[in-house]
Structures are given as C-alpha cells and as structure tokens.
Amino acid sequence: MRLISLFKKTMIENLRDWKILVLTLVFGPCFVVLMYFYLGETAQSPYRIIVVNQDEGAETAEGAVLAAGQGLISEMMDARYPEGTKVLEVQQEKEIDNARDRLADESVDLLVEIPEQFSSALLEYKQGNQPVPAIVRTYGNPANANYLMAAVWSDMITYEYAANLTGLRSPLELQAMTIGGTASLNEFELYVPALLTLALIMLMFTAAASLIKEKDKGTIIRLRLSNMTAFEWYSAVTLTQIIVGLLAMGLTFLTAVALGYRTSGSLFAVVVVGLLSSLSIMAISLLVAAGLRTIFDLLTIGCFPFFILMFFSGGMFPLPPLRLFSVDGHPVSINDILPTTHTITALNEILNFGAVLGDVVFELVAIAILTVMYFSVGAWLFTRRHMQARSG
C-alpha cells in the first residue's frame, strides 16, 4: 500500500511540474519532424546525374543505325529499386562545359560523358573485332555524399548495357543482397531508432527532477522519518518514469509513422527494448541526481550527461570503432558503456531489419547489466548524500 501511495504522489508531482513533462514528451516527436524535413521525403530520392551524349551512332550490317548512347540513357532512366522507385534522375546536356557548371553548383550529383565512338566500339566488339575501348568518363565532387553512389549505379548500368548489347558476358556475376525484410532504407528511416532512443534519453530530466525536487524541498527527510524505505521510493519513481518513457517513445514512433515510416519489426519487441531502456535511463538519472542539489543544477550541469548520451551512443553520427575486446563474437567498444548504444542497435535491428527478440539478446543483456551497475552505484550515492534521516 505504501508503494502505491508513493507512486500516486510521484505521478501527481510530475503532472504538477508539467513543463518538464511536456518537454520530455514532445522533444522526440519534434526531432522526428525536424529530421524528416531536413533529410527529405521518406521515399528513396533518386541520384541526380547529367549526361553529355556525344555518340555519333554506327551502322550495322543490316543497314540499321545503332544509337548505343541513347540506349544507355534509356537504361539509366529505367533503373529501379526492388520496390519500384527510380534509382537515377537523368538529365541531358549537349555542352560539356554547361554540364560541368551544373556539377559545380551541386544541382546534380554526377556527370557522365559518352564518347563519340561509343556505338561503333560496341558494334566492333559484337562482331568479334578488338577496337580501341570506348572511354565513358564520369565526373563528380568528392564532397558530395551522393557522388559515389551515383557513380556506382552509373558504372554498373553501363557495364550491364554493354554486356547485353555485345553479347560478351563477364566470367562472373555480382549480386547485391540485403538482410532483413527491407530492400532499401533512406536516411530518415535509418535515423528513426536513434530518434526513439533520444525520446527515452529525455527521460533523464523528469526522472532526475523527481529525485532532486524532494531533496530540494526537504520533503525527502520527512518521507524517511515515516519509515519509507529507499527501495520503495526508488520503485515509485521508477514506475512513474517507465510510464512517461514508454509514452514519449510511443508518441515519437507515431509521429514517424505519420510521416511515412514503415517497419517490418515486432512492436512487442520494441516495447520490451523501450521498457528495459527506460530502466537504464532511470539508473543514470539516479547517478546524475546524486551529484546535484537543486533543479537549477539539473538544468545546467545535468545537460552534460544528456549530451554525452545523445552524441556518444552513435545515433546522431557514426563513431570510430574504438574496440576493446569481444564477447561471444560481439565487439565491445568504449561507447558500449552507455546503455543507449545498445538501445539504438537493438531498435535498428528490430525496426529496420525485422529482427525478433531472440536476435537482440546480446543488446538486451548488455542493457540489463549496465542498468544494474548504474542503479547500484546511483542508489548508494543518492541514499548516502541525500536520504540520511536526521532528527532535530
């Protein structure tokens, strides 16, 4: 009964301090909307290429005219991802200088120059001769993140077209396969697991505020004098924060779905990861609150552990692989001491690659172990510093 009363009290205190609660709940959805508009539409955007077709064509033995350059352009326009969306957005330009200007102002990702003897060289190869190879030049800006992928697709389509036209097949065939149930993922979809984790990280403010507020107002001493145990109070605060955390993650996920995000994973598995991760954030919040005295300290000094969790979990940008050792074939890096690192990995596997709970056992165990470690240290420090009952 005492635990239920403490739970009600903690929940009411969180509702009264509605500004921090609202910030925690809407921060994740707002970031989802921001990343959606920043990264573009949820559909995979085609790579933009501009083609300068200088091919003069060639006459076949039957008297027909072979326009291989235009045929190649048609193949580029028809290239599709497995789900049917276009791979390349092809534009044509007659002058190479004009095309280079388009490349320089980054209105296109790649420039492809088809030589004058393109058709005649392919025709000679088809007839069994050995002419000078036709040189198809590509130009790109290495600073453009789409340049390399556009070049890969352009080269692959060009080789495939030449092989089909001449009948000279390569002695090997390359097949690009994907894992999981998703054929291709755009940048926004890849960020969704990190954004869900970010919504959980915001829990640190409501959790730490619930702890610090009672100490700051002096009510924690009266609670201790009422024979309330530290375990009961921590349990009440934890239950409240789990509810807030799952609600924040749910609102963030629904916002992503409303913007077109689709998942092939189990929502039950997502809830399990979210539940366990909420416990881990509560454990870190306990450790943070142990070193703070006022709400003002939380809103200033407390921002540092928040940014550590946000940026060093590997969700916002890729981190260098600073590996220390491996456990059962799983590499362990420095940033793996943060439970949110494993949360992002597990959510990415579940949401974007259709994994089930059995596929993310390592991540779940890692989160659980880190939660116990942080909770033990945090509870000991907070109890020692702020929950010693004193009589007048």
What is the reported pLDDT for 66? 87
DSSP 80: B
What is the reported pLDDT for 181? 52
Beta bridge pairs of residue 115? none
Q: Show the tokens assigned to 248.
A: 């924040």
Strands 47-53 and 88-92, bridge-based pairing: parallel
Mean pLDDT of the chain: 83
Amino acid at 285: S
Task: List CB contacts of 274: < 8 A, sequence separation 6 or more.
Answer: 196, 200, 245, 246, 249
What is the reported pLDDT for 62? 80
51-68 b/e with 16+ CB inside 10 Å = b?
bbbebeebeeeeeeebbb
What is the reported pLDDT for 174? 64
Task: List CB contacts of 301: < 8 A, sequence separation 6 or more.
Answer: 291, 292
What is the reported pLDDT for 293? 78
DSSP 293: -
Dihedral pair phi/psi, residue 89, rounded to 5°: -100, 105
Q: Catalogue all structural domains in the chain, each as residue range(s) with its CATH number.
A: 2-40+185-386 (no CATH), 47-166 (3.40.1710.10)
DSSP 86: B
What is the reported pLDDT for 104? 85
What is the reported pLDDT for 224? 60
DSSP assignment of 117-152: THHHHHHHHHTT---PPP--EEE--TTSTTHHHHHH
Place of tokens 């001491």: 337
Q: What is the distance between the alpha carbons of residues 353 and 263, in angstroms, rounded to a whole number?
A: 8
∠ CA 314-316-320, nearest 5°, is 40
Is-contact 169 163, C-beta < 8 A? yes
What is the reported pLDDT for 392? 38
- Please list the ranges in the chain whose pLDDT falls under 50: 42, 389-392
Q: What is the distance between the alpha carbons of residues 341 and 311, in angstroms, rounded to a whole number?
A: 10
What is the reported pLDDT for 391? 39
Cα atoms found within 13 Å of the Cα of residue 320, Cβ hemisphere only? 1
What is the reported pLDDT for 40? 58
Q: What is the distance between the alpha carbons of residues 333 and 34, in angstroms, rounded to a whole number?
A: 30
